[in-house]
Amino acid sequence: MTTDNEAYFDDGYLLYVIDLQTGKTKNRFKLPRGFPSLPVVAGDLLFLGASDGGFYAFDRRDWKEKWRISKKGYRFDFAYPAVAHGMIYFGGVERYYYERRPSVPVGASLNHPQGGVYAVDALTGTQKWMITIEGDPTPIAVADEVVYFGDFAHNLFAVNAKDGKKIWKFTASDRIRRVGIMDDRAFFSDRSGNLYAVDLKNGKAIWKAAKRNKVVTPLAAYNKLVYYGGEENSLYAVDALTGEEKWVYRTTQPCLPPVVANGAVYVACKDSMLLAIDAEGGQERWKYKTPHTPISYPVVGNGVIYYLDEEGVMYALGSA
């Protein structure tokens, strides 16, 4: 992830702080014990969860621990935290589900682990509310003081960001993936590759598209279109109003999640190609052959594209 002048990535043991102007490492920070979640930055604080049952806030000025929440028997390495309204929202799940899952008999109770979504004051670490759900939640989205997330039982929830009270629940046909918000609609795919649009006001489906080329990446939404990487090694754009296919760009290998900025869709693919596709018409603007296969989706800021490759090298390219 990046801020205005810094980028952060980890190798499972150390968190690296990279100067975006020079590409040099500014700092190395030892991570908490256990696998870390993706970090999120707000102001002078960096937040992340870990598989040791802790969720942490660190001061970016001196990298000292600001506060910590510990929950015995839980893990927060899939926390996918989101910051809004002075709060940090994140998810966790029972640790033993992942540790014992391979040996659990079919039909055993561990197929339905307990998870939770937490709302915590970002400055103090004081818990405001917690919701118990089945399994760990999807990455959390926040819009207009409403928090959106899915659970193991195929449900998409909308809850009040201030008190955690449920506003509505929508049930999909399979487990829900990452949720995106645009134009009073929630867009998401499920594990079967279907694509959905749900009304944010009442939680009712506007459309469901059973895609022939199933959705396999997280979605990107921009200017009435929804973008995704498909099962057949291609990038797709669909109409956000109807779910109908608008255009398709054929690739030779699977691609990472697309990112939209400045009227272009940027996507890194496993054939070591970084692509810029016109967001409206689907025409190729340019492509760049990377020295090694990218392992991160592109991050775009200040006219520059940043990505990380399989050798652990970070790149900065002009986006024009």
Q: Distance between CA atoms of 148 and 158, rounded to whole angstroms?
A: 5
- Can you give the pLDDT at residue 232? 83
Q: Distance between CA atoms of 228 and 284, rounded to whole angstroms?
A: 16
Q: Distance between CA atoms of 298 and 292, rounded to whole angstroms?
A: 14
Which residue do the tokens 């970016």 mark?
A: 60
Scored b (16 or more CB within 10 A) or e, 121-159 reads ebbebeeebebebbbbbbbbbbbeebbbbbbbebbbbbb
Query: What order of strands is seen across the sheet that includes strand 40-42?
Result: 40-42, 45-49, 54-59, 65-70
Summary mean pLDDT of the chain: 89
Name which of 115-119, 167-171, 208-212 the model is least confident about.
208-212
In terms of C-beta density within 10 A (0-12 exposed, 13-18 middle, 19 or more buried), how is residue 55 classed? buried
- Greater confidence (9 vs 191) lies with 191
- Can you give the pLDDT at residue 98? 55
Bridge partners of residue 276, in order along the sequence: 266, 286
Judge whether 196 and 188 are in contact, CB under 8 Å.
yes
Bridge partners of residue 259, in order along the sequence: 266
- Greater confidence (149 vs 25) lies with 149
CATH, domain 215-320, list 2.115.10.20, 1.50.10.10, 2.40.128.630, 2.40.50.140: 2.40.128.630
- Can you give the pLDDT at residue 2? 59
Q: Distance between CA atoms of 136 and 145, rounded to whole angstroms?
A: 22
Span 105-153, pLDDT tens digits? 444 444 568 899 999 999 999 999 999 999 889 999 999 999 999 999 9
| End-to-end Cα distance, the chain | 21
Strand pairing class (245-250; 259-261): unpaired
Coil, helix or strand at residue 252: coil
Query: Percent of the chain beyond pLDDT 70?
Result: 93
The alpha helices in the chain, defined as continuous H runs, are 95-100
Q: Distance between CA atoms of 49 and 35, rounded to whole angstroms?
A: 8
Q: Distance between CA atoms of 260 and 240, rounded to whole angstroms?
A: 15
Span 30-56, pLDDT tens digits? 888 778 888 899 999 999 999 989 999
pTM value is 0.89
- Can you give the pLDDT at residue 103? 46
In Å, how far from its chain's centre is CA 160? 21
In this prediction, residue 99 has a pLDDT band, given cuts at 50, 70 and 90, of low
